[in-house]
Amino acid sequence: MVASELGFSSHVMNYQYFNIDRNIKIIHQLHIARLHLYHLRQLAEEYPTQEICGLIGGTFGNDGIVFASAIYPIQNVAKNPKVAFRLDERQQIKALYEIMSMGLELVGIFHSHPFGPSRPSESDLRLCAYPQVVNCIIFPLQEDDVLLMPNCYQVEKMIIGAWQFVGTAHPVTLVAC
């Protein structure tokens, strides 16, 4: 299924149907269920040598608060999935359609860094297509990761961090519910 099969172009789908506003508002908090955090950890552990990726559906609240409601894993079709991710276009469109059908919005994107770094990479910032959403990065706990920032949550031997990519990586406080 591609965008044209759903009756709209990718451009229209991204901006009209999903309320993706080019006037970017800064996000301060991501509220996400612990169940979703454990699901992200499980996905990263299932594919320890390649980046996992997907979308997060939810709602935008007031005052820069985002509420995650659903996780949509999507196949990584990057040429080198060990160090990069690219969402499978068909699965991405299907997930966006499901998000829309449930009355939700695209509130986040997730991917993993199985070999580091434990922060957004240069390419994460450079290739960001949705600066108005939260970007969650899952990475293995390293010995030098002794101080977790408010934008990170530890799930066993994995850390999940949240940022918004608006020019630079702005930390988003991750609130596990």
Domains and their CATH numbers in the chain: 3-176 (3.40.140.10)
Q: Is the pLDDT of residue 18 over 70?
A: no
pLDDT in tens, 116-163: 777 888 888 888 888 899 999 999 887 665 456 778 888 888 889 999
- % of residues, the chain, pLDDT over 70: 84
**Tell me, what's the pLDDT at 141?**
81
pLDDT in tens, 28-80: 999 999 999 999 999 999 999 999 999 999 999 988 999 999 999 999 999 99
- % of residues, the chain, pLDDT over 90: 59
Question: Quick one: 35 exposed, middle or buried, by C-beta within 10 A (0-12, 13-18, 19+)?
Answer: exposed
Compute CA distances 101 → 6, 10, 59, 60, 133, whole Å.
12, 16, 13, 16, 19
Locate 112 and state its tokens.
């993993």
Q: What is the mean pLDDT of the chain?
A: 84
**Tell me, what's the pLDDT at 116?**
78
Locate 38 and state its tokens.
């454990």
**Tell me, what's the pLDDT at 168?**
85
Angstrom distance (rounded) from CA 87 to CA 54 = 7
Compute CA distances 10 → 4, 60, 72, whole Å.
8, 22, 18
Q: Is the pLDDT of residue 24 over 90?
A: no
Closest CA to 133 of 20, 13, 53: 20
